Amino acid sequence: MRRILPLLAAAALGTLGGTLAMPQFRAAAIVQLHYDRLDPLWQYSGKVMSCTFCHVGKGGGAPWNPFGQALQKGFASNPRANFSQVLSAVLQANGDADGDGYPDAVEIFARTLPGDPASHPDRPLAEVQAEYDAAGGAAQYAPPKGQGAPKGR
């Protein structure tokens, strides 16, 4: 029992991968992209959205993959915007950061990695695109209410 208590305390403080340990941008993206709807315990799981969604390395940090670089460019072009606004703008631009033939937003909809050319839907683009459009297209990934206008405007 004495050995279990320190582990429980560490988990409660987030040092074993709990909510406090999840990077702010990843937590915001999970909610904005609706990935939280698939797993009610998403805050405690690194499986809902891995660091490789935007980064090259499994642990995050530099360097960034092509999708992470697209987000960086979004911040550079609108430094007053918050993360949710930049993410939405990148997806609305309908780019294909990794060049695999599937737009980033369509890949996100299909739960594949928009920054990894080896990760793409296993169905034809037209089929996945039609489902994505029927679900609301890029509008489904708009910033949460109250985050529409860039800071300072």
Per-residue pLDDT tens for 25-57? 888 888 888 888 878 888 877 677 888 889 999
What confidence score (pLDDT) does residue 146 get?
67
DSSP H/E element including 127: helix 125-134
Q: What is the pLDDT of residues 133-151, one digit of tens each?
A: 999 999 999 998 765 544 4
CB 100, CB 117: distance < 8 Å: yes
CA-CA distance, 58 to 148, in Å (whole number)?
A: 31
Kindly tell me if the per-residue pLDDT of 122 is higher than 90.
yes
| DSSP secondary structure code for residue 121 in this structure | -
Taking the C-alpha atoms of residue 72 and residue 33, their distance in angstroms, rounded to an integer, is: 18
Q: What is the pLDDT of residue 116?
A: 96
In the chain, what are the domain boundaries? Answer: 23-145
Dihedral sign for Cα atoms in the order 38, 41, 46, 52: positive
Most confident of 4-18, 27-41, 51-65: 51-65
2 residue type, one letter: R
pTM, entire model: 0.77
- Under the banding of pLDDT at 50, 70 and 90, the label for residue 59 is confident
Per the prediction, the chain carries an average pLDDT of 83
What span, in angstroms and rounded, lies between the C-alpha atoms of 107 and 100?
10
